[in-house]
Amino acid sequence: MGAMFHISTLHYLVLGAALFLLGVIGVLTRRNVVIVLMSIELILNAVNLNLVAFSHYWQGMPARLGGGAQALHGQVFSIFVITDAAAEAAVGLGILIAFFRNKETVNVDEVNLLKW
Amino acid sequence: MFLSHIWLIPLLPAFGAAIMFFFGRRLQKGTVSAVCVGAIVLAFIMACGAVSQYSDWSSAPENFHKPYQTILYTWLGTDTGHMTYATHDGTPTAFQADAGFLLDPLSSIWLLFVTGVGMLIHIYSIGYMAHEGGYFRFFGYLNLFMFSMLTLILANNYVLMFVGWEGVGLCSYLLIGFYFHRKSATDAGNKAFIVNRIGDAGFLLGMFFIAWYFGSLRFTEVTHIAHSGRFVIGDPIITAATLLLFVGACGKSAQLPLYVWLPDAMEGPTPVSALIHAATMVTAGVYMVARSNALFVLAPTSMKTVAIVGALTAIFAASIGLVQNDIKRVLAYSTVSQLGYMFLALGVGAFAAGVFHVFTHAFFKALLFLGAGSVIHAMSGEQDMRNMGDLGHRIPITHGTMFIATLAIAGIFPFAGFFSKDAILWETWSREAGAYRVLWYVGYATALMTAFYMSRLMYLTFHGHPRMRHDAEHHIHESPVSMTAPLVVLAICAVFAGWLGWPHSLGGSDRFTAFLEPVFAREANVLQEQGRAGQLAAGEEEEQHNTGTEWLLMGLSLAAAGVGWGMAWRSYRHADKGYAEPIAAVAPPVYNTLLNKYYVDEGYDYVFTGRRKLGDVRLGVLGLGEVSAWFDTNVVDGAVNAAGWITRLTATFSSWWDKWIIDGIGVNGPAILARMLSYPARLFEWGLVQWYALVMTAGLVGFVFYYVYH
């Protein structure tokens, strides 16, 4: 079953794309800032998935082309992205709280103070 | 003792005036009379003593013919020279004026008749002013006047003389306006003061010329320098100085064209007219010119001017006097006319004759005025001769004394006026080899007029039919002794005063001229030194060898007096109500012109004061004021307003420029432009974060497709 149902890089990419698409739709359509932030997390994780997938793919390539067991850049980079996502979530929630204190709402369509 | 205390003479009346000023209101009339009249009596006694001592003093060989001068202190300027000025040749000179007194024959004569006549008039005033208000005020002013007049006479320099000159002017003003509740009186006072001011300006300027040219204002020093021979005859500065001095004399002594104040001065009480406006103050101009004789002989132009102005004034005023109806006005014009005679004499160089006429005139004119005052007193204040008549036997003393004065002024032998007037006419005829003979005719015609208007006055007042109202007629009475006594004394003087100058041609010794010789003799020497010996000798020769001519002229004068008298006798002897004026019958326009005083006052109103308009034009002072006002309103203010208008216009433009060009185009323009340009840009900013994200995503997708399928 395992051999027959080989999970290739393409599968990861399709899953990443799907996650990315879900994130984008969430960011664009949901009014609640919390959910928008969560959708951003989805997008970032989709990116992480791609990074890890391509990193795994490179590990299977010959070393003269830069592949091999040592080709861990993408995985390392995904760690950075996760860190960045945490930081981003902290900043975003901070803004959210400050915003809520002023407007008593968390709807993103009401954030229009800087509109002309 | 009198001579060394000569400064007491003016101080005595000043003391009287001071008492009247501080305590007069509280004093009894008797006390007032005692103080004021007493001061003048004392001054007169001191004056007599001083003159008598002076004649002794100056007869002594060491002082022979020298003026007596005593200087109390330096009144103006100091010895330290802080008032130093440069004379015309650049010499630094200290400006100095002493409180000093000078007694010489000239001032002796004035001193004697001013104190003498002044004393008589003070006594007369006791009676005349007895029922008037302001008794102490009147006597205070009179004493102040005497102080000023004596200062003027006894001053040893021009500055102190000017102090007295202004003082008498002030007192004249105060006394003309004595009845200050009457507008005509205050107007007359103002007129006198203002007209005199014009003359005073001339005096001052003349004085400055002398200070600048001679470096001194002391009479003795100026005379000495003038005699030194340093100046040519006709020196223009001396001519200017003397002409200016003569302007001053014209103002004070009522000569053309400044005589207009004197007839109006008759608004004052009659003793004032007698003292100030007939006998004493108005002769101050004559005194000043005579005092400056050393200067005048150096300026033939000035001498000619003096002579011509004098002669013209004489006949001009006499002709007006022919038809006046106010008894005091006739006498006023007579005074102006007689002053003209005096200046005629001075102008032709006969200083002694001029002074002689001043001397005799003081007595008979004071007498005429006091007599007129007595008449007015008797007539209960009536001054119009048309309402008099037949007073002769009702007030006999007044009539008699005035008759003597009339004979004197008309020049009937042997009354005082005969000698002085004939001296003047003879000198006019003979001086400068007859160069002034044309003026003799003027003087001669004046003599005839004088006789006419004086006899007219006598006939209208004392003879003919009574023309007064009945209540006034019942009230007629002879004046009290205090008034008639001075009349009698003055009448005696009017008879005998002239005998002092009994001429050589009539076998006399002309002691008057001899007495004045120390003052005027040097002038003849100067003339000789300066090369006019020929003319002078010719004149003297004529004088010596033409006694016959002199007799002829005397005869002619007497004839003129007789003719004038006869004409008046014929016309006014039987004057009844509505009597006819002979001049009006012969030539009405002439009569009207004379009655209206040649319209001089009206002319002055048009030309100088500008109280009346010539069409739409106003001349004179008011005209000048109007022109100035017009100039100020239209030109000065116009310029100011124009400057303001231009400023405002510029400011308006500047403000418009700032608002619309600088602010509008320069500052707001880019802003508006930026705003306009911002509208399409703003359309992209509709404020929904998620739309932005959608556009971003769409753009991203677009790029991806572009690059993938390109």
Helix (H) or strand (E) holding B101: strand B97-103
pLDDT, residue A3, reads 58
Say whether residue A112 is in contact with chain B using an 8 A CB cutoff.
yes
Q: Which residues of chain A are within 8 Å of residue B677 when distances are taken between CB atoms?
A: none
- pLDDT exceeds 80 at position B358: yes
Average pLDDT over residues B216-222: 89
pLDDT at B344: 93
Instruction: Note whether B149 and B281 are within 8 A (CB).
Output: yes
Residue B679's pLDDT is what? 87
Rg of chain A (C-alpha set) = 19
- Any A CB within 8 A of B694 CB: yes
Count CA atoms within 13 Å of residue B428 on its CB side: 31
How high is the pLDDT of residue B278? 85
Question: With an 8 Å Cβ cutoff, are A115 and B686 in contact?
Answer: yes
Q: Write out chain A residues lying below 8 Å of B687, CB-based.
A: 112, 114-115
The average pLDDT across B157-181 equals 93
- Answer whether residue B457 shows pLDDT above 50: yes
Q: Closest partner residue to B689 among A24, A29, A108, by Cβ? A: A108
Asked if B294 and B526 touch (Cβ cutoff 8 Å), the reply is: yes
What's chain B's average pLDDT? Answer: 87
Neighbours of B471 (CB within 10 A): 8
Q: Please name which of B16, B341, B235 lies closest in space to residue B147, comparing C-alpha atoms.
A: B16
Residue A1 pLDDT: 44
Average pLDDT over residues B650-655: 95
ipTM (interface pTM): 0.82
- For tokens 């001339």, name the residue: B202
Q: Would the pLDDT of B569 be above 60?
A: yes
Are B685 and A116 in contact (CB < 8 Å)? yes
**pLDDT of A109 strictly over 50:** yes
User: What percentage of residues in chain B have a pLDDT greater than 90?
Assistant: 44
Percent of chain B at pLDDT above 70? 95
Q: How many CA atoms lie within 13 A of A115 on its CB side?
A: 14
Query: How would residue B81 be classed by pLDDT, with cut points 50, 70 and 90?
Result: low
Q: Give pLDDT, residue A39.
A: 92
The token pair at B423 is 């001296």
The residue behind tokens 């003393």 is B397
Q: Is A24 on the interface with B (CB under 8 A)?
A: yes
Judge whether residue A4 has pLDDT over 70: no
Q: Bridge-partner residues for B155, per DSSP? A: B101
Residues of B in contact with A114 (CB under 8 A): 687
Tell me the chain A residues in contact with residue B684 when contact means C-beta distances shorter than 8 Å.
none
- Residue numbers in B near A36 (CB within 8 A): 690
* Contacts A96 to B, Cβ<8 Å: none
Question: What are the residue boundaries of the structural domains of chain A, listed by start?
Answer: 9-104
CA dihedral angle for residue B447, residue B457, residue B268, residue B123, rounded to 10 degrees: 90
pLDDT in tens, B487-512: 999 999 988 888 888 887 777 777 88
Q: Which residues of A touch B690 (CB under 8 A)?
A: 27-29, 31, 36, 108-109
Q: Tell which CATH architecture fits domain A9-104.
A: Orthogonal Bundle (1.10)
Q: Cβ-count burial of B240 within 10 angstroms (0-12 exposed, 13-18 middle, 19+ buried)?
A: middle
Contact B683/A at CB under 8 A? no
Q: Which residue has the higher pLDDT, B543 or B409?
A: B409
- CA dist A61 to A10, A68, A72, Å? 16, 6, 12
Is A5 in the B-facing interface, judged by CB distances under 8 Å? no
- Chain centroid, CA A107 distance in Å: 22
Between B16-25, B388-397, B431-440, the lowest mean confidence (pLDDT) is in: B431-440
Alpha carbon of B687 to those of A93, A95, B697: distances in Å?
21, 17, 17
What element of type H or E holds B73? strand B68-76
Determine if residue B90 is left, alpha or beta; phi over 0 gives left, psi from -120 to 50 gives alpha, anything else beta. Answer: left
Find tokens 């032709």 and name the residue: B348
Considering only CB atoms, which chain B residues are within 8 Å of A31? 690
Q: Would an 8 Å CB–CB cutoff place B687 in contact with chain A?
A: yes
Q: Give the confidence band of B523 by pLDDT, cuts at 50, 70, 90.
A: low
Nearest Cα residue to B288 out of B212, B365, B346: B346
pLDDT for residue B525: 57
Cα distance between residue B213 and residue B463, in whole Å: 58
Looking at residue B538, what is its pLDDT?
47
Instruction: For chain B, say whether A101 makes contact (Cβ under 8 Å).
Output: no
Cα angle B71, B75, B77; round to 5? 120
Given phi > 0 = left and psi -120 to 50 = alpha, else beta, which region is B618?
beta
What pLDDT score was predicted for residue B542? 46
Per-residue CA distances from B216 to B91, B154, B649 (Å): 12, 17, 62
Are residues B689 and A109, on separate chains, in Cβ contact within 8 Å?
Answer: yes
- Are B257 and B314 a contacting pair, CB within 8 Å? no
User: Which residue has better confidence, A113 or B660?
Assistant: B660
Q: Which of B54, B47, B163 is nearest to B99 (CA)?
A: B163
Cα B411 from Cα B547, distance rounded (Å): 19
Strand partners, B71: B100
Euclidean distance between CA atoms B609 and B201, whole angstroms: 18
3-state secondary structure of B86: strand
A108 touches B at CB < 8 Å = yes
A19 contact B CB<8A: no
Q: Is the pLDDT of residue B522 over 80?
A: no
**Strand partners of residue B94:** B84
Amino acid B545: pLDDT: 53
pLDDT tens for each residue of A22-79? 999 999 888 888 999 999 999 999 999 999 999 988 888 888 888 888 888 889 999 9
A107 at the B interface (CB within 8 A)?
no
**What's the confidence (pLDDT) of residue B65?**
79
pLDDT in tens, B392-438: 888 999 999 999 999 999 988 888 889 999 889 888 888 777 778 88
Does the CA dihedral B495-B497-B499-B503 come out positive or negative?
Answer: negative
In whole angstroms, give the CA distance from residue B321 to residue B406.
14
Of B46, B57, B58, the C-alpha closest to B2 is B46
Most confident of B379-383, B612-616, B650-654: B650-654
pLDDT at residue number B530? 47
d(CA B103, CA B153): 9
Could you give the CA distance from residue B375 to residue B299 in angstroms, rounded to a whole number? 46
* pLDDT at residue B130, rounded to an integer: 85
- The pLDDT tens digits for B601-641 are 888 888 888 788 877 888 888 888 888 999 999 999 999 99
CB atoms near residue B465 (< 10 Å): 11
Give how far B691 is from chain A: nearest CA, Å.
Answer: 7
Q: Model confidence over A10-24: pLDDT tens digits?
A: 999 999 999 999 999
Interface size between A and B, measured as CB pairs under 8 A: 24
- Identify the weakest region by mean pLDDT among B454-463, B590-599, B608-617, B665-674: B608-617
Give yes or no for B689 touching A (CB within 8 A).
yes
CB of A106 within 8 Å of a chain B CB? The answer is: no
User: What average pLDDT does range B94-103 have in this prediction?
Assistant: 87
Determine the average pLDDT of the residues in B655-674: 90
